[in-house]
């Protein structure tokens, strides 16, 4: 009886060692032993094998792990790379031609961007970004920088809304669609430029505004540029002076403070001539609280020089008095706080940092006084205050110091804001230096109840994330950030996959906000410093952050390695802001330096990553699958089935590599980086990536997006 012949077209990415394995070919004939017998090449990628038996079950493979499905055959046939049989050899399929590079996309209008995963975030400290109005500049009492002539320079409150409005085009050109600003509400403390020492949640700090540049003007201007505004919100604590119009914390007026060895009227501390009272106010005092005691209000409105004797109501000693107890001016007696507004359990210390109860009822610091967030009056005040900003057009909220408020209590605030503004995106900051898996393991010495994943869930079993669904309150991804110390900071992706293996513990992992560094932390030197690695290492980190699950966030200045390796916050006793990661950025944004800033390789790299992510829904919303890493490289699939979008990603550190990814849906893929085109027929995509670059192959994608740079080419 005549036999039959099988012809096979080798798919892209398969090795040349094509074998055919067969069985059940007849009662007297034995089958092959895996992987079978070699097929003979016959040109143009075709291979052939001739059977003498009438029928056979067959599987074709390349001995490297790639194989077809099971087939039963008894007549001649040609099996193409898509797994389809033909009666005769099919005509060569024309190789898909790379389309022209896709033009840079413009983000959809804000009204159409309902899913915050479509955004990328630029985070800035408003007072340190760009100075549009020098008339509202202000020096804090602490950490004043003096020049060689003894003159105070670099005001802490330097950048402002006017400056930010003037440089919205810079942020838009960089490709970001949302700006996260530090808390804009009125602050009070010796070093309050960053906004985290709130005194009045109902009022925007006047040191940020100008007659022609209010907070509303900023929101309106950003929206006109198609940029969303994320407002930072502090729920956990107030400043050490209480809350204007609600509660007063007992102090003596600062204008009566005289350091030991000095005398009233002789203090010479930059603009604080004579004493340390607020130099910008005629009454030379910090507090204008109408609920302060009558004697305090009287002194607030009189005696600007602080020379009329005042008896301390607690000790009856008279001030001004050199060296008199600084705690009466700057400190807080936790036992004397108003329990209607504040907790009274003292200050966090030692082991408190890894235990839920003390962490959530004790005071964070002397200028961060723990609010009784469970009380209805506190809820009404903070929720109502922030609702006003949502009504002004604020698009999203970031919540500070999340782990310092019990989860279900904090969700009352979050859900109230989401009810007030349906569709509102709210994310939180739960700082952890490690994976942050809590009771789920991973060497974590803190309980789940103070870890990021807990706040993304609704359940109450610290060892079972699935005991409750998604809370709708995603977090900054400190778990991924913490791996960068041992991975990208050392020029490797090795170990990165481990953090993704635990993605299932989060409510919706695709809504986590990912980052390399921020105003508090960086991956180097015990997490205190701006990234200090080589430029290509930073680019490799951004390649990862912009292609894995989550919403990318960049801290201002990263795009030009600003203050590289500097401590994020003041360290030494005499450090000033110009030595830190929070230094004034504005010189780089001046008219004469702007072009130079925008030509930096990382600036252009981040801009292109934003262009690519904006064009590929899978990179915004897709789940991660087939995650593989091998130190010098990493690969994975982003699959967004609801949007019909798939992206296959390969990342490379060091020399160029060939990357194979299995489990890929069949179809035509175009690389957003190079424009190269590959067809997938048997679930395997193989492609080449240049050194320190990436391959981003998109199913039916647009092709090359943006212009080649040093790290994407």
pLDDT, tens digit, for every residue of 467-489? 999 999 999 999 999 999 999 99
Average pLDDT over residues 27-48: 91
pLDDT for 368 beyond 70: yes
* Mean pLDDT taken over the chain: 95
Average pLDDT over residues 236-256: 97
Is the model's pTM score more than 0.85? yes
Q: How many CB atoms lie within 10 A of CB 627?
A: 18
Show Cβ contacts of residue 660 under 8 Å, excluding neighbours closer than 6 positions: 13, 684, 685, 686
Residue 1 has a pLDDT of 56
Show Cβ contacts of residue 535 under 8 Å, excluding neighbours closer than 6 positions: 561, 601, 602
pLDDT for 691 beyond 80: yes
Average pLDDT over residues 180-184: 98
pLDDT for 103 beyond 90: no
Residue 276 has a pLDDT of 93
pLDDT for 129 beyond 60: yes
Rounded to whole angstroms, the Cα distance separating 60 from 440 reads: 43
pLDDT for 117 beyond 90: yes
pLDDT for 529 beyond 90: yes
Query: Above pLDDT 70, what percent of the chain?
Result: 98
Average pLDDT over residues 562-576: 94
- Band of residue 98 on the pLDDT scale cut at 50, 70, 90: low
* Ordered domains of the chain (ranges, CATH): 4-86 (2.60.40.10), 250-331 (no CATH), 619-699 (2.60.40.1180)
- Band of residue 163 on the pLDDT scale cut at 50, 70, 90: very high
Rounded to whole angstroms, the Cα distance separating 536 from 396 reads: 32
pLDDT for 97 beyond 70: no
Average pLDDT over residues 86-113: 77
Residue keyed to tokens 């790639």: 66
Rounded to whole angstroms, the Cα distance separating 188 from 199 reads: 6
Average pLDDT over residues 86-101: 74
CA angle, 354 as apex, 348 and 358 as ends, to 5°?
40
Query: Above pLDDT 90, what percent of the chain?
Result: 89
């Amino acid at each position: 009886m005549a036999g039959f012949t099988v012809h096979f077209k080798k798919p892209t990415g398969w090795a040349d060692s094509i074998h055919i394995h067969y069985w059940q070919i007849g009662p007297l004939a034995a089958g092959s032993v895996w992987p079978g017998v070699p097929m003979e090449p016959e040109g143009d990628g075709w291979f052939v094998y001739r059977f003498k038996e009438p029928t056979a079950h067959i599987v074709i493979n390349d001995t490297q792990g790639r194989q077809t499905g099971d087939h039963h055959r008894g007549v001649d046939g040609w099996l193409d790379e898509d797994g389809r049989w033909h009666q005769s050899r099919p005509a060569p399929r024309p190789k898909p031609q790379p389309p022209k590079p896709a033009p840079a996309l413009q983000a959809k209008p804000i009204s159409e961007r309902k899913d915050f995963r479509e955004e990328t975030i630029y985070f800035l400290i408003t007072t340190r970004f760009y100075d549009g109005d020098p008339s509202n500049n202000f020096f804090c009492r602490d950490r004043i920088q003096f020049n060689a002539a003894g003159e105070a320079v670099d005001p802490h409150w330097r950048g402002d809304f006017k400056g930010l409005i003037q440089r919205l085009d810079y942020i838009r050109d960089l490709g970001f669609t949302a700006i996260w600003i530090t808390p804009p509400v009125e602050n009070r403390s010796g070093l309050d430029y960053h906004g985290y020492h709130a005194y009045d949640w109902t009022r925007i700090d006047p040191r940020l505004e100008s007659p022609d540049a209010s907070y509303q003007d900023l929101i309106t201007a950003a929206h006109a540029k198609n940029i969303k505004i994320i407002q930072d919100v502090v729920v956990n604590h107030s400043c050490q002076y209480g809350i204007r119009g609600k509660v007063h914390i007992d102090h003596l007026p600062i204008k009566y403070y005289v350091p030991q060895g000095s005398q009233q009227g002789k203090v010479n501390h930059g603009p604080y001539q004579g004493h340390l009272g607020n130099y910008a106010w005629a009454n030379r005092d910090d507090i204008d609280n109408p609920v302060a005691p009558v004697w305090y209000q009287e002194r607030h409105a009189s005696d600007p020089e602080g020379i009329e004797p005042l008896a301390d109501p607690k000790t009856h000693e008279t001030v001004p008095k050199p060296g008199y107890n600084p705690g009466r001016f700057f400190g807080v007696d936790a036992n004397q706080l108003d329990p209607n507004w504040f907790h009274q359990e003292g200050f966090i210390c030692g082991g408190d940092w890894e235990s839920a109860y003390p962490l959530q009822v004790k005071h964070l610091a002397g200028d961060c006084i723990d609010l009784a967030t469970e009380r209805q009056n506190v809820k009404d005040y903070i929720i109502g205050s922030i609702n006003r900003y949502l009504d002004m057009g604020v698009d999203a909220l970031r919540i500070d110091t999340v782990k310092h408020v019990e989860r279900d209590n904090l969700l009352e605030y979050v859900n109230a804001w989401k009810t007030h503004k349906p569709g509102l995106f709210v994310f939180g900051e739960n700082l952890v230096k490690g994976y942050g898996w809590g009771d789920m393991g991973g060497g974590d010495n803190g309980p789940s109840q103070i870890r990021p994943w807990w706040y993304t869930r609704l359940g109450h079993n610290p060892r079972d994330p699935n005991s409750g669904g998604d809370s709708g309150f995603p977090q900054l991804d400190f778990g991924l950030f913490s791996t960068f110390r041992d991975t990208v900071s050392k020029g490797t992706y090795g170990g990165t996959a481990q953090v993704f293996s635990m993605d299932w513990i989060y409510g919706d992992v695709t809504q986590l906000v990912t980052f390399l560094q921020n105003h508090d932390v960086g991956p180097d030197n015990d997490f205190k410093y701006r990234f200090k690695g080589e430029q290509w290492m930073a680019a490799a980190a951004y390649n990862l952050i912009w292609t894995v699950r989550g919403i990318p966030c960049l801290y201002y200045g990263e795009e030009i390695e600003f203050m590289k390796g500097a401590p994020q916050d003041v360290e030494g006793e005499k450090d000033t802001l110009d030595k830190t990661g929070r230094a004034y950025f504005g010189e780089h944004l001046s008219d004469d330096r702007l072009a130079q800033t925008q030509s930096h390789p990382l600036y252009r790299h981040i801009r292109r990553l934003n262009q690519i992510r904006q064009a590929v829904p899978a990179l915004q919303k897709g789940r991660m699958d087939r995650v593989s890493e091998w130190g010098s490289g990493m690969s994975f699939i982003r699959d967004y089935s609801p949007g019909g979008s798939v992206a296959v990603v390969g990342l490379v550190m060091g020399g160029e590599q060939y990357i194979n990814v299995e489990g890929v849906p069949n179809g035509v893929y175009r690389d957003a980086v190079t424009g190269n085109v590959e067809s997938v027929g048997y679930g395997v995509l193989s492609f080449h990536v240049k050194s320190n670059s990436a391959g981003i192959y998109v199913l039916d994608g647009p092709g090359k997006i943006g212009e080649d740079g040093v790290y994407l080419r």
